[in-house]
Amino acid sequence: MRLGVLDVGSNTVHLLVVEAHPGARPIPTASHKSVLRLMRYLEPDGSISAEGVAAILTAVGDAASAARQAGIEELLAFATSAIREAANGEAVLDLVERDTGVRLQVLSGDDESRLTYLAVRRWYGWSAGRLLLFDIGGGSLEIAQGIDEVPDVARSLPLGAGRSTISFLPDDPPSPEQVARLRAHARAVLGKAVEAFRDLPAPNHVVGSSKTIRSLARLAGSIEDGYGDSDRSILTREGLDDWTPRLARIPADARPALPGITVDRTFQIVAGAVVLSEAMRAFDVDELEVSPWALREGLILRRLDRLS
């Protein structure tokens, strides 16, 4: 069947169209993306501004039109932390359904973490052993660890790259003092979260997913031979920490000239680097491998599991 997955995230509205069959890997056939950066539209009371709501309606409407043109049989549409946590989130969901015909399912932070973990587990298979996963979105950082298809522990933390940029790095480029404050905040939040993982066995394999981590790996990581036709993208904490202060000195509009830094991530890549560095430090991780699959693929796999 031809499935569409519509992800209304904190940074982008992304439609992925795949050919999907139970027991087979989903094959992407089309993609449609709008840059949203919802965090800029948050009012002091935590609601999404009228301008932000209009941007959501336009982006979802465009994606729904692209989905129809792609001939999808089913659309899996979901929203993550920005709408989930907005004071007017329910009203926004109703407006989206009324204006576009798309009803967005709101995923909890723990659901995001579990679904992303499922996708990563399927990608790497049982031979990878116990997995530790980091996934950095615009609004939240997801962390999960386990050895089966359901993680033993899954947590969602308010350390997304977009949220952290708005809250701690208002200047472009940010000052060293701003970066230091974000680093201290991330360290404190992660210090509490790591307690939930303390009694688990050490992971056999550490994985990072999300566009932010893929971008950082292209900039500061390395490529190694993998299995089949896929290379392995590796990011070390040493390489990340070497690049982070240099990134922070470069204005956002100049960062896309660097390898891996795209226009839609340029404003929040410094915050993403700081948060990932502190996450790796909190969990005593020296390097991670980057997964090409993440939340969208997790939703597809769960839907296929139900079909079979």
Does residue 161 lie within any of the structural domains? Answer: yes
Structure confidence by residue, pLDDT tens digits, 35-79: 998 988 999 999 999 999 999 999 999 999 999 999 999 999 999
**pLDDT at 291 exceeding the cut of 70:** yes
Burial class (CB in 10 A: 0-12, 13-18, 19+), 49: middle
Question: Residue 231 — very low, low, confident or very high, per pLDDT cuts 50/70/90?
Answer: confident
Q: Reduce the DSSP state of residue 241 to 3 states and report it.
A: helix
Phi-psi category of 228—alpha, beta or left, where left has phi over 0 and alpha has psi -120 to 50?
left
Q: Which of 49, 76, 106 is the last residue of a domain?
A: 106
CA distance 174 to 50: 28
* Average of per-residue pLDDT values in the chain: 95
Is residue 225 very low, low, confident or very high in pLDDT (cuts 50, 70, 90)? confident
Q: Does the pLDDT at position 229 exceed 80?
A: no
Task: Count up the domains in the chain and report the number.
Answer: 2
Looking at residue 203, the DSSP 8-state letter turns out to be P
Q: Please determine, for residue 134, whether its predicted confidence score (pLDDT) is greater than 70.
A: yes
Question: 302 lies in a domain?
Answer: no
Residues 89 and 129 in one domain: no
At residue 252, the pLDDT reads: 97
pLDDT reading at 226 higher than 70? no
What is the average pLDDT across 77-93? 94
Final residue belonging to a domain, choices 106, 139, 155: 106
pTM over 0.85: yes
Rounded Cα distance, 80 and 91, in Å: 15
CATH of the domain at 144: 3.30.420.150
* Same domain assignment for residues 147 and 264: yes
Same domain? 102 vs 152? no
Burial of 247 (0-12, 13-18, 19+ CB in 10 A): buried
CB distance 81 to 160 below 8 Å:
yes
In a domain, 248, yes or no: yes
Amino acid 49: pLDDT: 97
Average pLDDT of the segment spanning 188-195: 97
Q: Which is more confidently placed, 228 or 176?
A: 176
Q: Name the residue with higher pLDDT: 151 or 80.
A: 151
Last residue of a domain, one of 106, 140, 168: 106
Q: What is the pairing mode between strands 153-157 and 205-209?
A: unpaired
Task: Classify residue 89: in a domain, yes or no.
Answer: yes
Q: Say what the pLDDT of residue 228 is.
A: 61
Average pLDDT for 169-183: 98
**Whether residue 132 sits in one domain with residue 92:** no
pLDDT class of 270 with cuts at 50, 70, 90: very high
Is 112 part of a structural domain of the chain? no
227: pLDDT strictly greater than 70: no
> Which residues touch 121 (CB under 8 Å, ≥6 apart)?
128, 131, 146, 148, 149
Whether 130 has a pLDDT exceeding 80, the answer reads yes
Banded model confidence at residue 307, pLDDT cuts 50, 70, 90: confident
Q: CA–CA separation, 195 vs 279, rounded Å?
A: 13
Of the chain, the percentage scoring pLDDT greater than 90 comes to 90
Residue at 132 is within a domain: yes
Both 172 and 37 in one domain: the answer is no
* Residues 83 and 48 sit within 8 Å (Cβ to Cβ): yes
Per-residue pLDDT, 186? 98
pLDDT at 22: 85
Domain hosting 22: range is 2-106
